[in-house]
Amino acid sequence: MKKLSLLLAVCLILGMLVGCNSADVGKEVPDGGQVSEGNSSGTPKKGGTLIVGMTGDPSTYNPDYQADGYLQPISENIFNRLIKVTNKQEVVPDLAKSYKVSEDGKEITFYLNENVKWHDGAPFSSADVKFTFDTIIKEGGQLAGSLTSVEEITTPDDNTVVFKLKNNDSSLIGYLAWDACYIMPKHIYEGTDWSENPANQNPIGTGPFKFVKHEKGVSVTLERNDEYWGDTAYLDKVVFSIIPDANTAVQALYNKELDILGVEPPLSEAQSFEADSDIKVGKQYWPSRYYMFFNVKDSIFKDAKLRQAVSLGIDKDDIIRKAMKGIGEKSNTAMTPMYDWALNTTDVFPERDVEKAEKLIEDAGYAKNSNGMYFETTIDVFNIEPFTDIAVIIRDNLKDIGIDVKINMMEEAAWDEKIWYGRNYDVSLLAGYQGPDPGALTTRFSTGALINLMGYSNPKLDVALEKGASYVSEEDRAPYYIEVQKYIVEDVPVVPISEYISIAPYQSYIVGHPTSEEAIDKTGFHEYTYVWINK
Amino acid sequence: MARYLRRRILTGILIILVSLVINFMLIHLAPGNPISLLAGKDNPSQEMIDALTEKYGLNDPIHIQFISYVKTLLKGDLGYSIMSSEPVSKLIFEKVGPTLLLALTSILLAVVIGTASGIFAARKRGSLFDVTMNGLSYVFDSTPSFWLGLMLILIFASKLKIFPTAGMVDLRAQHEGIAKAVDILWHLTLPLITVTLIQIPYYFRIARASVIQTMSEDFITTFRAAGMKENKIFKKYIFKNAILPTITVFGINLAYVISGVAIIEIVFAWPGMGRLMMTAISKRDYPLLMGIYLILSVSIAVCMIVVDLIYAVIDPRIRYD
């Protein structure tokens, strides 16, 4: 209890330091709208094994080396970060009990928890933190692209780490709380090739669970770390069961072979989960909205009028209802609404208007042919649900405004080659993480940025983004991001479609799921420290 | 016979070499590359992409990449997987067992059940059994395997609760020893039934057709006219002749069995090589894929040689060619 209140106090301090009060950041998504049993079910019970589904094998247990969606849920339980982000998309303490940003924003000091031990018994210290980030930068780890502002990392003492920055980088905190920056043991990795260290198959972390074994294609087993420096977990074991087919995983959940589904269920199953009293449905709201984007550099959509017409022609409600089975939320703002302190709610994308859309196309110099169509275009999509279904609805929507859309479905690798690298397309669809901060707009909209697949360039927007990143406080930064969103709405390089909400079904006897009230303020997306089995 | 064998082995080696070249080229020419897939779409890092592209030599021209691949291969090294940085041979070796368990058991069951019922149906041509089996063989022949698998899960796991839904072991119980073996067999049942049901029609129809064909040959009519007993005619003359096509098909299927069960492995979460191959394809893991294809082409070549040998033993006409 003492630890808990300490943690809460730290949360509060941290919250004030970041300048974001927990009440006004992010979206609070209640636990499937159901009354949580955690409060009425009394004291947590220790023990038991939790079985969680997963669609594939993690390829390595080096958590910072490469992006690996299969490793992330495991990393959160074996390792710790300095700070971590919760399902409310709030940043809370992890190994760092607090941190401080200097006035000019060029120095971030992290104060670490004391008496932290690695799973092999070795003591943890600030040297591990420095080693981790130095290695990520030197070896080109997954997060390296987001650490370019870091000039030097120093360790004044065993429990303090200072990040010295070349320039103020307000997005850094968000990235440090996200993925691929788990603190790695220096005493194991130092002087070795981090891509081939044996620990990559037998990881040593500081987290609430220890790695036990990985049977390829079958399961990954973790056990409770009784020496954990924070709140000790209730569960004896967490077993990730590898089931590649989502339909099979859903049946395994119904048949009680899984406690937590763990994989993204087919959207068509969503309603049946809600109807099943044995199953609770957690919701996770991500800054990973679905959007449509145009090749503004070299395609028929060079003409802004046509892009505006498409934006007016798309029926987002229809898409969410039919293609996404209601698991979504209409996006009209130019940025994810999760960062509401920087959200522009004045300049937004318009509602559907067929007449206006047709007029714009005619203004652009097109006339209807004998089939009643102005022109023809192709939308390239990867063959993953719900992108394919979204494309079908878009085709129907745009037929109404006289655009004849052909759908070209392709495998992800082929899509990469044609769109990401080849930029040989008219229009396509994408989602993906667009956080952890409004600064992420840079990655997708500034001139020449890595995910600016549109080839979009607006010098005024570039300047505003740079300014937005150069200040520390939200009040100072917000106006620039609001300006950026205005340009996006004016220029229409993309049309946002829906926010990304994922549903996380689990058995009703599971208490403390990371999306539930009991744990949402304290744990990472898939961290099972507070989970216990109530039966 | 020795000359026959030598020729077959040489052909086999040639097949392996040609397929090695073709596979390498095709895999590398396919759109997309493993590093961009590794980097993901969430927050890709150019630094990481550059470092890994350099590490795996993916910037070199394709013929240079091929030469360096062959060089490591000649040392008996299949290289390292790009996805997991683990030796390809280790990754494949781990998955061979479950695949062989599922694939070999099912192909043996299918060949025995299919051939036996095919012969029986042919001998009772036009009977109720013959008509029913014929109909069923078309039904299962045209059933997609993943659909059949899901249906069996819905019926036997979800509704009747007889068999487990998926996987190879009960993760809650974590059995050891004999209990574990029983547990694995228990989990094997549904995927095994699926793969077997899908394969039976081939063997049924081939056996039935070739028995019927042989029965109408002139020499059989002669035996009958000479008053030889029906059973003796069948055992001594019809069966031996009619079984040859079955052996051919069995040999070919044996070679494709690993890739053939991939879909079923995915549906039932069976940890086999087919699944590994599908992941390797979608992630463009070149070294892993080359390793799997090499093993497949070697096993295809070996199976062909073995089938040819069996053929030569059973049918003397072939070996004296």
Percent of chain B having pLDDT more than 90? Answer: 38
- Cα distance from N-terminal residue to C-terminal residue, chain A: 24
pLDDT at B211 over 50: yes
Q: b/e map of A88-108 (b: 16 or more CB within 10 Å)?
A: bbbbbbbbbbbbebeeebbbb
Q: Is A460 exposed, middle or buried (0-12, 13-18, 19+ CB in 10 A)?
A: exposed
Question: Across all residues in chain B, what is the average pLDDT?
Answer: 88
Mean pLDDT of the A100-104 span: 89
Nearest chain A residue (CA) to B50: A140
For residue A146, the SS3 value is helix
**Given CA atoms B92, B98, B101, B102 in this order, what sign does their dihedral have?**
negative
pLDDT at A300: 94
Q: Is B281 exposed, middle or buried (0-12, 13-18, 19+ CB in 10 A)?
A: middle
Residue B319: pLDDT band by 50, 70, 90 thresholds?
low
- ipTM over 0.90 threshold: no
Q: Is B202 exposed, middle or buried (0-12, 13-18, 19+ CB in 10 A)?
A: buried
pLDDT at A363 over 80: yes
Question: Across all residues in chain A, what is the average pLDDT?
Answer: 89
Residue of B162, B165, B267 to mutate when probing chain A, most A C-beta within 10 A? B165
pLDDT at A272: 87
**Could you check whether the bond before residue A436 is cis, i.e. omega within 30 degrees of 0?**
yes
B38 CB neighbours in chain A (<8 A) are 66-67
For the ranges A23-37, A214-228, B247-261, which has the lowest average pLDDT? Answer: A23-37
Mean pLDDT of the B102-107 span: 92
Give the one of B52, B167, B275 whose C-beta lies nearest to A241's C-beta: B167
Q: Compare A267 and A26 and report the one with higher pLDDT.
A: A267
Q: b/e map of A308-317 (b: 16 or more CB within 10 Å)?
A: bbbbbbbbbe
Of A3, A237, A226, nearest to A119 (Cα)?
Answer: A226
Phi and psi torsions of A95, nearest 5°: -65, -30
Q: Is B27 on the interface with A (CB under 8 A)?
A: no
Query: What confidence tens digit (pLDDT) does each residue in A460-480 have?
Result: 999 999 999 888 888 999 999
CA atoms within 13 A on the CB side of A90: 28
CA distance A471 to chain B (A): 23
Q: Compare A269 and A186 and report the one with higher pLDDT.
A: A186
Q: Which residues 350-409 of A have a C-beta within 8 angstroms of B?
A: none
Q: Which residues 251-310 of B have a C-beta within 8 angstroms of A?
A: 266-272, 275-276, 279, 282-284
Query: What confidence tens digit (pLDDT) does each residue in A410-437 have?
Result: 988 889 889 998 999 999 999 988 888 8
pLDDT at B320: 56
β-partners of residue B219 are none
Tell me the C-alpha distance between B60 and B53, whole Å: 10
Residue of B29, B33, B37, B45 to mutate when probing chain A, most A C-beta within 10 A? B45
Q: Which positions ≥6 away from A288 have C-beta within 8 Å?
A: A336, A431, A432, A433, A434, A435, A500, B42
Give the one of A140, A288, A418 whose C-beta lies nearest to B48's C-beta: A140
Q: Is A412 on the interface with B (CB under 8 A)?
A: yes
pLDDT at B59: 85
Q: Which positions ≥6 away from B245 have C-beta within 8 Å?
A: B206, B210
| Chain-centroid distance, C-alpha B21 | 22
For the ranges A139-148, A215-224, B192-201, which has the lowest average pLDDT? Answer: A139-148
Strands A49-54 and A237-242: parallel
Query: Hey, are the CB atoms on A201 and B86 less than 8 Å from each other?
Result: yes
From residue A418, how far is each of A381, A493, B37 by CA, in Å? Answer: 11, 19, 14
Joined tokens for residue A450: 């890595």
Mean pLDDT of the B51-63 span: 85
All domains in chain B, ordered by first residue:
91-275 (1.10.3720.10)
Residue A8: pLDDT band by 50, 70, 90 thresholds?
very low
Joined tokens for residue A389: 């279904």
Phi and psi torsions of A112, nearest 5°: -90, 155
Query: What confidence tens digit (pLDDT) does each residue in A150-162 have?
Result: 999 999 999 999 9
Query: Hey, are the CB atoms on B169 and A56 less than 8 Å from each other?
Result: no
Tell me the C-alpha distance between A138 and A124, whole Å: 22
Query: What confidence tens digit (pLDDT) does each residue in A156-186 have?
Result: 999 999 999 998 888 888 889 988 899 999 9
pTM to 2 decimal places:
0.85
Check if the beta carbon of residue A181 is closer than 8 Å to that of residue A59: no
Of A344, A336, A281, A201, nearest to A29 (Cα)?
Answer: A281
| Chain-centroid distance, C-alpha A461 | 24
For residue A214, the SS3 value is strand
Of B206, B274, B297, B233, nearest to B19 (Cα)?
Answer: B297
Check if the beta carbon of residue B118 is closer than 8 Å to that of residue B208: yes
Q: Is B87 on the interface with A (CB under 8 A)?
A: no
Q: Compare A103 and A303 and report the one with higher pLDDT.
A: A303
Mean pLDDT of the A315-338 span: 94
Query: Hey, are the CB atoms on B95 and A252 less than 8 Å from each other?
Result: no
Q: Which positions ≥6 away from B241 have C-beta within 8 Å?
A: B210, B214, B217
Residue B238: pLDDT band by 50, 70, 90 thresholds?
confident
Query: Hey, are the CB atoms on B166 and A144 less than 8 Å from each other?
Result: no
pLDDT at A306: 96
For the ranges A108-117, A166-175, A242-251, B10-19, which has the lowest average pLDDT? Answer: A166-175
pLDDT at B290: 93
Query: Hey, are the CB atoms on B271 and A175 less than 8 Å from each other?
Result: no
Of A249, A67, A201, nearest to A142 (Cα)?
Answer: A67
pLDDT at A13: 44
Mean pLDDT of the B233-240 span: 84
pLDDT at A6: 45
Strands A375-382 and A427-430: parallel
Residue of A147, A148, A213, A257 to mutate when probing chain B, most B C-beta within 10 A? A257
Q: DSSP readout, A330-367?
A: E--SSS-TTSGGG--SSS-PPPP-HHHHHHHHHHTT--
For residue B147, the SS3 value is helix
Query: What confidence tens digit (pLDDT) does each residue in A339-353 have?
Result: 999 999 999 999 999
Q: Which residues 32-91 of A have a C-beta within 8 angstroms of B?
A: 49, 51, 56-57, 59-60, 66-67, 69
Check if the beta carbon of residue A58 is closer than 8 Å to that of residue B86: no
Query: Hey, are the CB atoms on A241 and B275 less than 8 Å from each other?
Result: no
**Could you check whether the bond before residue A386 is cis, i.e. omega within 30 degrees of 0?**
yes
Q: Compare A258 and B250 and report the one with higher pLDDT.
A: A258
pLDDT at A154: 95
Mean pLDDT of the B218-228 span: 87
